Amino acid sequence: MKRSEIRRAQQRALEYFDKAGIVLTDEERTRVEVADFGLGDLDLQGLEILTYVNTERCCAKELVLFPGQTCPEHHHPPVAGEPGKEETFRCRWGEVFLYVDGPPSESISVDPPTKWCRVRKEIILRPGDQYTLVPGTKHWFKAGPDGAVVSEFSTRSRDDSDIFTDPGVVREPLIEED
């Protein structure tokens, strides 16, 4: 991704935080991470992330998804003798379509962006709704037509250990200067 694309996505994410009524400090506003997962199409598959805290025991983040943007299918495996990450998603603004391991829903509300989004048990999250994933649960999620802001509360986050279904995913963005 080009640095200018990252800056535009960061600014856009800040607008979504404002829509959701989430107040950020000036310092937090400078730390919005933009992840395109190395797939080269941020509007289709990507995520904007602000991590408040990530300690040995807990993690709290805000996630922004632009309209129709998807976080690719992945799961959080055990690491260093600890179970994988347990996480709770709470929708703050917009609508999120969450897909998890389990019996597939009869039909799903959105088209998966790629063949790599395979799990089909659908949970729809609207403002105030939340869902907790047990460690090791495969999942992917996609924003509704207006986008979404989601709070994530979890055990320790080890993003570099996440296992993505799509072998082309690269978690750390490659940044090109303009």
Q: Is residue 107 part of a domain?
A: yes
Yes or no: say if 86 and 103 are a contact pair by the CB < 8 Å rule: no
Q: Decide if 123 is inside a domain.
A: yes
Q: Which two tokens stand for residue 26?
A: 């000036």
User: Does residue 174 lie in a domain region?
Assistant: no
Q: Domain count for the chain, please give it.
A: 1
What would the pLDDT profile of 9-28 be if each residue is shown by its tens digit?
999 999 999 999 999 999 99
Tell me the CB-side half-sphere exposure of residue 1, using CA atoms within 13 A: 25
Note the pLDDT of residue 172: 75
Q: Residue 147: inside a domain, yes or no?
A: yes
Residue found by looking up tokens 């992840």 in the block: 35
The answer to whether the beta carbons of residues 45 and 37 sit under 8 Å apart is yes
Query: How many whole angstroms separate alpha carbon 43 and alpha carbon 36?
Result: 8
Q: What is the mean pLDDT of residues 111-115?
A: 95
pLDDT value at residue 122: 98
| Dist CA 150 CA 178 (whole Å) | 31
Q: Does 172 reside within a domain?
A: no
Q: Output the domain CATH number for residue 27.
A: 2.60.120.10
Q: SS3 of 161, please?
A: helix
The model's pLDDT over 31-81, given as tens digits with 9 standing for 90+, comes to 999 999 999 999 999 999 999 999 999 999 999 999 999 999 999 999 989
- Residue 166 in any domain: the answer is no
Q: Which domain holds residue 118?
A: 3-161
The answer to the question of residue 29 being in a domain is yes
In the chain, how many H helices and how many E strands?
A: 2, 9
What are the start-end ranges of the H helices in 88-140? none
- Residue 169 in any domain: the answer is no
Can you give the pLDDT at residue 171?
78
CA distance 95 to 109: 11
